Amino acid sequence: MNHGSGERGGSPHVDLVLPCLDEERALPWVLGRLPDGVRAIVVDNGSTDRSAEVAREHGATVVTEPRRGFGAAANAGLEAATAPLVAFCDADASLDPADLPRLVRLVDAGEADLVLGRRRPTSGSAWPLHARLANRVLAARMTRRTGTPLHDLGPLRVAETARLQALGIRDRRSGFPLEMVLRAAADGWRIRELDVPYRPREGRSKVTGTVRGTLTAIGDMSRIFREVHA
């Protein structure tokens, strides 16, 4: 990408939304991996650690979202985005922002409207078995619903900012990423997957790594499948 850097003057080509709940240990690595032309928007959602300060110290724009929930944070970041493209990534160092340019290129080239990073675990501990199995069932359902072969509800993703803002995603909990894919497909977007390495996260998981988080995610996603039709 040769669009100038968000931090070193010039406006960014990509705003990267990083939903963040207590990720002070992961943020320095994540924010040190930003490609040129990418501005980080860390959405803090009531962290009790120094996430917000660490994010600022590493040059990120920090958005504070008082309403709890992954989707509330992701949506606040989407609303704050002003660059032509918007990307999403977990802030737990499981995914590498340096992989973004390959995804961005497909959107820039007009070859896809939404690009998802298909997670390829680098070790057995990167992705717990229950999460991997649940994801496989989910991917099969997404494939049937969208008519596009999908293997993963990848958290690393890129699309045009204005189009994504106009999609009208309503979920404010863990259904947000699935609702994005189903609404995009319903609107005729071309969805593409690219492989990305998936590393063991830094610290403890809040969504699929806990029983409560997993049950909430299953409930939210079942509701999205009922409500959003591609």
CB 164 within 8 A of CB 93: no
Phi, then psi, of 37 in degrees rounded to 5:
80, 5
Is there binding between residue 206 and ligand GDP (CB under 6 A)? yes
Q: Which of 55, 68, 62, 66 is nearest to 25 (CA)?
A: 55
Select the residue interacting with Mg ion from 23, 24, 65, 90 (CB under 5 A): 90
Distance CA 168, CA 101 (A): 26
| Cα–Cα distance for residue pair 126/107, rounded to 1 Å | 28
Q: Does 99 bind Mg ion (CB under 5 A)?
A: no
CB of 89 to ligand GDP, least distance (A): 8
Q: Which CB sits closer to ligand GDP, 173 or 183?
A: 173
| In the complex, minimum distance from the CB of residue 190 to Mg ion, in angstroms, rounded to a whole number | 27
Using the rule CB under 5 A, which residue among 3, 172, 192, 201 binds Mg ion?
A: 201
Minimum separation from the CB atom of position 208 to Mg ion (A): 7
Sign for the CA dihedral angle at 176, 178, 179, 184 comes to positive
User: Which of these, 50, 119, 68, lies nearest to 89 by C-alpha position?
Assistant: 119
Token pair, residue 62, equals 């920090």
Judged by CB under 5 A, the residue of 51, 61, 75, 94 near Mg ion is 94
Whose tokens are 């699929």? That residue is 208
**Interface residues for ligand GDP in 23-52 (CB under 6 A)?**
23, 43, 45
205 is an interface residue for ligand GDP by CB under 6 A = yes
Give yes or no for residue 216 binding ligand GDP (CB under 6 A).
Answer: no
Look at residue 19 and give the partner it binds from ligand GDP, Mg ion, none, a contact being a CB closer than 5 to 8 Å depending on partner kind: ligand GDP
**Token duo for residue 124:** 């057995």
Contacts of 226 (CB under 8 A, 6+ apart): none
Which of ligand GDP, Mg ion, none does 216 bind, CB closer than 5 to 8 A by kind?
none
Using the rule CB under 6 A, is 145 a contact of ligand GDP? no
Footprint (CB under 6 A) of ligand GDP, residues 178-197: none
Query: Helix (H, G, I), strand (E, B), or coil: what is residue 111?
Result: coil
In the chain, the N- to C-terminal Cα span, in Å, equals 32
Among Mg ion, ligand GDP, none, partner that 206 touches (CB below 5 to 8 angstroms by kind): ligand GDP
Site of interaction with ligand GDP (CB under 6 A): 19-21, 23, 43, 45, 68-70, 73, 90-92, 201, 205-209
